[in-house]
Amino acid sequence: MQRPTLFSVQLGALAMRCGKKILWMLLVLWGITLISFWVIHLAPGSPTDMEITLNPLASEGARQQLEALYGLDQPLYVQYWEWLSRLAHLDFGNSLSADSRPVLEKILERLPLTVGMNVISLILTLLLAVPLGILSAWKQNSLFDRAVTVLVFLGFAMPSFWLALLLMMYCGIDHAWLPISGLTSMDYAQLSVWGKVRDVSAHLLLPIIVYTVGSLAGMSRFMRSCMLEVLRQDFILTARAKGLPARTVIFGHALRNALLPLITLLGLSVPGLIGGSVIVESIFALPGLGQLFYGAVMARDYTMIMGNLVLAAVLTLAGNILADVCYGLADPRIRGSQKEA
């Protein structure tokens, strides 16, 4: 009964690796906060601009009072240290905007929409990209493969906001099939539960299409090249030579190997998704994280900007770690090599 012990040794090695990885990630996170904090605070403009400069009745004294209130009169390293020590207790501070609510609270109420839309579109992307990639690779250089390649190139070059505008024009204005902005209709409060679900889905359909098209091109191209890579290997040749049907070769032998690199790609796609949400949400006027960040940037709301940056960095790093762990769990070769290392 050697197997369980071997497996537990491997798991131990994996845990060790994860521990190291997490330590490194914390260091990276610290680096990111350091750079962003200084860049943002040293840049011209201040959160008090909105309230003071634009108000002719406000005096210089009022500005100083406000700066003292926000702690902006301290030297920068003191401000950073205080911000960092608060962050250690997961306290992101209060927003510097007029409502001065806690940053974390404001972020958390926006998070579900943005994350939800991204997860749905990611699932859709995978459902479409994997079969597309497999088929193009299996029928390399066929008419189908060429057509997909053309579409992929168009997808790469398509600015997401232009696609959104075209969809709004076609589905929203010319045919009036779907609403083009906001999350709910005017009469939302009067709708039944089922009606509410339908209303929100109708509002989210176009944004999700835009997200999906945006990542579909890259994903299906990547899937295709992974599949081609696997299909050229000897064990596939063996499988085909012994007369296995194409379906068994593709789904039984090739696909499992070709899917592995996709895990890493998914982990790496997090920053792109977060960035994309700013554009999509601002076009469709959706109250998500991207809009919150855009508003914070415009108002120079330091604590809010930093809160969003930290969250985005944490999500990115979590994506990386998760991809790493999943890769290790999914690929026995990696588990083995870690034990030796």
Partner 1 sequence: MAFFSKAPARWLRYVAGSYGMAVLGGGIVLIMSLAALCAPWLAPYQPDALHLDAILQPPCPDFLLGTDVLGRDVFSRMLYGGRVSLWVGFVAVGISVSIGLTLGLVAGYFGGWVDECIMRGVDVMLCFPSFFLVLAVIAFLEPSLLNIMVVIGLTSWMGVARLVRAETMSLKQRDFIAAARLSGSRTSKILFMHILPNALAPVLVSATLGIAGAILLESSLSFLGLGVQPPDASWGNMLMDGKNVLEIAPWLSLYPGLAILITVLGYNLLGESLRDIFDPRLKEQR
Binding-site string for partner 1 from residue 120 to residue 159, where x marks contact by CB under 8 A and - marks none? ---------------------------------xx-xxxx
Please tell me the count of residues contacting partner 1 according to CB under 8 A: 51
Is the C-alpha dihedral spanning 52, 57, 63, 65 positive or negative? negative
Strand partners, 94: 102
Residues 6+ apart with CB under 8 A from 1: none
**Considering only residues 72, 96, 258, 274, which one is a binding residue for partner 1 as defined by CB under 8 A?**
274
Among 44, 56, 75, 243, binds partner 1 (CB under 8 A): 44
Q: Which two tokens stand for residue 39?
A: 């860049």
What is the 8-class DSSP label of residue 168? I
Distances (CA, A) of 58 to 62, 116, 186, 264, 332: 6, 43, 38, 53, 67
Instruction: Please list, in sequence order, all residues whose beta carbon lies within 8 angstroms of the beta carbon of residue 137, skipping any fewer than 6 positions away.
Output: 145, 223, 224, 225, 227, 228, 231, 258
* Span 157-216, contacts to partner 1 by CB under 8 A: 157-162, 165-166, 168-169, 173
Which position among 64, 79, 100, 320 is part of the footprint of partner 1 (CB under 8 A)?
A: 320
Residue with tokens 């796609």, as numbered in its chain: 269
Cβ closest to partner 1, residue 188 vs residue 294 = 294
* Cβ 219 to partner 1 shortest distance, Å: 15
Closer to partner 1 by CB, 233 or 248: give it: 233
**Would you tell me how many other CB atoms lie within 10 Å of the CB of residue 253?**
19
List the one residue from 1, 193, 298, 341 that touches partner 1 (CB under 8 A). Answer: 298
**Contact pick of 2, 3, 4, 43 for partner 1 (by CB under 8 A):** 43
Smallest separation, CB 134 to partner 1 (Å)? 15
User: Across the strands, what pairs with 102?
Assistant: 94
- 317 belongs to the binding site for partner 1 (CB under 8 A): yes
Only segment of 6-14, 25-33, 63-71, 332-340 that touches partner 1 (CB under 8 A): 25-33
Q: How far is the CB of 37 from partner 1 (least distance, A)?
A: 11
- CA–CA distances in Å: residue 210 to residues 1, 156, 181: 53, 13, 14
What binding mask, one character per residue, do residues 242-271 give for partner 1 by CB under 8 A, x or -?
-----------------------------x
| Degrees, nearest 5: CA angle 277-283-288 | 40
Residues 6+ apart with CB under 8 A from 276: 160, 211, 214, 290
The tokens for 224 are 């295709």
Q: Smaller CB distance to partner 1: residue 15 or 35? A: 35
Closer Cβ to partner 1, 25 or 113, answer by number = 25
- Gap between the Cα atoms of 28 and 26, Å rounded: 5
Nearest CB to partner 1, comparing residues 14 and 301 = 301
Give the residues lining the site for partner 1 (CB under 8 A): 28, 31-32, 35-36, 39-40, 43-45, 153-154, 156-162, 165-166, 168-169, 173, 224-225, 228-229, 232, 271-272, 274-276, 278-279, 282-283, 293-294, 297-298, 300, 305, 308-309, 312-313, 316-317, 320
